[in-house]
Amino acid sequence: MPSVAFGYKCEECGQGTVLEKIFPEYKTKVKGYPFLVENARIGVCDHCGAEHFDPKETLRWRSLLEQRQSESYMQPTAIRELHKSLGLSMEQFAILLGCTRQSLYNWERSDRTTPQSRMADLFMRLICESNLAGKIDVLSFLKTEAEKVGFHFSISQKVKPIAPIVAFARKIPVSQLSTQVHHPLSLAADTEGQQEAVTLVTEDNKPIATLSYDYQDATLNLLFLYAVPFVEFDAEIQFKDGKQATGKHATIKDQEATLLTKTTHTEEDVAQIRFLPQGLLSTSENK
């Protein structure tokens, strides 16, 4: 392929002349990969600055990329040692990789002209790392490998779902709860003599919230004793008289939530509540 003879009129602006310029270090992308080309030969318009590329020069860039990738990929000896360390035959290792035996044979040849694909290389590196280190974080491994070739990004970590929480209503002295709350308790009756609060405790007897009834608004309310990793929940409420009710999409604000509206059931009527967390906080929000 002949080289382009720069010195022609710029097609971008129609006024300038495209002149050859050598860039000692030229940042570009080749086959989608970030790539730094040394001594890149590019045509630049002396009027608008538009860049023009010589097909022969860009072909040289592709060859350089392939050469660097070939050098950075697992070498034939390392691939052979990996499949032998696993106690597998070539055919068995090929099945594990999801490739043909012929492909694996070509990758292991000391005189190979073409290395394995990047996907196959990453897979073999992942197997090698797992074989040496045991359990590994696959996403972190792949992210680190991507950064080695110039790609930088963040991966959203999925928040682990929270199992339903079952809590039982118990009367507990307020003095035992005062150190766990961040603001005054809302008790069933605003009397100075009230010494106990209807409290929800888990199966291991850990207090998690207090209940109260607002007679003016006819609402059954809840106050969590500490921050919880969810902002919304459904509540399946079982009362002492055997009746049941469900509070849908209760939203927590300042650790408080309304379980039921327009109800005559007070906190004294509650036997147990089953919480079904819905809107979970991210890891950063939960810190």
| Model confidence at 188: pLDDT above 50 | no
Alpha-helix residue ranges (DSSP H) falling in the chain: 55-72, 76-85, 90-97, 101-108, 118-133, 138-148
| Model confidence at 185: pLDDT above 60 | no
| Model confidence at 189: pLDDT above 80 | no
| Model confidence at 279: pLDDT above 70 | no
Span 76-148 CATH architecture: Orthogonal Bundle (1.10)
Question: 202: how many CB neighbours lie within 10 A of its CB?
Answer: 12
CA distance 248 to 203: 23
Per the listing, tokens 């590019």 go with 42
| Model confidence at 184: pLDDT above 80 | no
CA distance 104 to 88: 13
Distances (CA, A) of 118 to 106, 128, 218, 244: 15, 15, 65, 58
| Model confidence at 179: pLDDT above 60 | no
* Span of 82-96, 136-150, 196-210, 216-230 with lowest mean pLDDT: 136-150
Mean of all residue pLDDT scores within the chain: 86
Closest CA to 202 of 279, 277, 280, 273: 273
The letter for the amino acid at 205 is N
CA distance 68 to 39: 16
Structure-token pair, residue 171 = 């009367």
User: What pLDDT sits at residue 158?
Assistant: 63
Q: Strand 33-45 and strand 256-260: pairing?
A: unpaired
User: What pLDDT sits at residue 159?
Assistant: 58
Per the listing, tokens 């790609």 go with 151
| CATH 3.10.20 residue spans of the chain | 18-72
* Span of 43-52, 77-86, 276-285 with lowest mean pLDDT: 276-285
pTM of this prediction exceeds 0.85: no
CA distance 171 to 237: 17
| CATH 1.10.260 residue spans of the chain | 76-148
Q: Is 126 exposed, middle or buried (0-12, 13-18, 19+ CB in 10 A)?
A: middle
Distances (CA, A) of 258 to 115, 171, 207: 63, 20, 18
287 Cβ contact list (under 8 Å, min separation 6) = none
CATH 3.10.20 correct for 18-72 = yes
| Model confidence at 16: pLDDT above 80 | yes
- pLDDT bin (cut points 50, 70, 90) of residue 180 is very low
- pLDDT bin (cut points 50, 70, 90) of residue 196 is confident
CA distance 145 to 150: 9
